[in-house]
Chains A and B, each alone.
Chain A
């Protein structure tokens, strides 16, 4: 009797934006990095009414560490951009460091789920069984590239270079 999903609609920011949402860690936390990206639709147009949520382990690969919320949330702005300040997670369960991501938007009747991996973790990525299950030509859509003060992870909902999405 699971309750069905419905879209967040265009006015999601009323209910789902928090001032502290994008800040998984304070600015002065050791190893704080920005994870930034933009979201585009099947036409390549920016999506200004979406929301990204992140959930991750701490740098030691642990969840629910006191003082580390592990959760981030940021709506896209008028240019379809989002940004979350966090620390890079450690490996979990023998998997490469990664962050679980939900994307919500007007026009998405259910969230879509993906993972952020890190392009500068090549040896760990090469041994990761989830990445291995993704067709090689699409794996790059899951890799955040080092960029300035953090990493860049763009999301393409549909079309060429569509981001790999997962289901449970």
Chain B
């Protein structure tokens, strides 16, 4: 089966040119070291971490309020329960709260852009946030990233670890984005959330659905030797 993952060397995305390894990777046999993985549980998640719009001090982020939800499952379609989901994103103006972000757009004093949640028994997660703005980057002249939210997932095994980006439907910037285009064409739409009227809350927030499927095998603790 063809891999849905982008090749590490994707020269349209210039930073890959000096960072992609040149040697072919060596096949690792299945081993407990990689077929197990951290069980992080609630430790890293504090109350309120799934709502990025509230700063916990009475302030509220600017922008279009949205709900982003979905199901995390494994390659066999089984829900991945009690798993940490980490997200980070630019604010509504397309600016990150980061010392290296020099985009001439306002910071939002009430928005850090970081969220954490645990999946429930059905593998579901749900964040409340604001729609991130597109932002410029230095890859090529007039380069803009399509609006996106960064996602990080662990799964049940080291082999399943995934960091990706969720995009929004019908973004006109897709056509010009080498990071989106690094993904083989057949798999690109898996990174695009669907507008979800059912998750939309009347007079309050638009809903989007982004389901995530992790690859790889895992040895659940009771299967280990």
Stretch from B12-20, B119-127, B195-203 contacting the other chain: B12-20
Q: Any chain A CB within 8 A of the CB of B75?
A: yes
Q: Distance in Å from the Cβ of B135 to the closest Cβ of chain A?
A: 10
Are the CB atoms of B28 and A6 closer together than 8 Å? no
Q: Distance in Å from the Cβ of B223 to the closest Cβ of chain A?
A: 12
Are the CB atoms of B26 and A164 closer together than 8 Å? yes
Name the CB-closest residue of A to B72. A3
B residues 92-115 touching A (CB-CB < 8 Å): 96-98, 100-101, 112-114
Are the CB atoms of B21 and A158 closer together than 8 Å? yes
Are the CB atoms of A158 and B163 closer together than 8 Å? no
Q: How many residues in B have their beta carbons less than 8 Å from beta carbons of A? A: 70
Q: How many residues in A have their beta carbons less than 8 Å from beta carbons of B? A: 64
Are the CB atoms of B98 and A11 closer together than 8 Å? yes
Give the interface SS of chain A, mostly helix, strand, loop or mixed. loop
A residues 19-42 touching B (CB-CB < 8 Å): 41-42
Q: Any chain B CB within 8 A of the CB of A92?
A: yes
Q: Distance in Å from the Cβ of A30 to the closest Cβ of chain B?
A: 21
Give the interface SS of chain B, mostly helix, strand, loop or mixed. loop
Q: In the complex where A2-B4, A43-B18, A92-B32 touch, is A70 in contact with B38 (Cβ < 8 A)?
A: yes
Partner of B8 from A43, A112, A115 at Cβ < 8 Å: A112
Are the CB atoms of A2 and B21 closer together than 8 Å? no
Q: Any chain A CB within 8 A of the CB of B62?
A: no
Q: Can you list 29 A-B contacts (CB < 8 A)?
A: A3-B213, A4-B191, A6-B6, A6-B165, A7-B13, A8-B152, A14-B88, A14-B96, A14-B98, A14-B112, A15-B87, A15-B114, A53-B161, A57-B32, A57-B33, A63-B224, A71-B37, A95-B31, A104-B163, A110-B6, A111-B163, A130-B28, A158-B21, A162-B23, A163-B21, A165-B25, A165-B26, A166-B25, A168-B27
Contacts from A to B (Cβ < 8 Å): 1-16, 18, 41-43, 45, 47, 49, 53, 55-57, 63-64, 69-71, 92-93, 95, 98, 100, 102, 104-113, 115, 129-130, 133-134, 138, 157-159, 162-168
Contacts from B to A (Cβ < 8 Å): 4-8, 10, 13, 15-23, 25-34, 36-40, 44, 75, 86-88, 96-98, 100-101, 112-114, 150, 152, 158-159, 161-165, 179, 182-184, 187-188, 190-191, 212-217, 221, 224-225
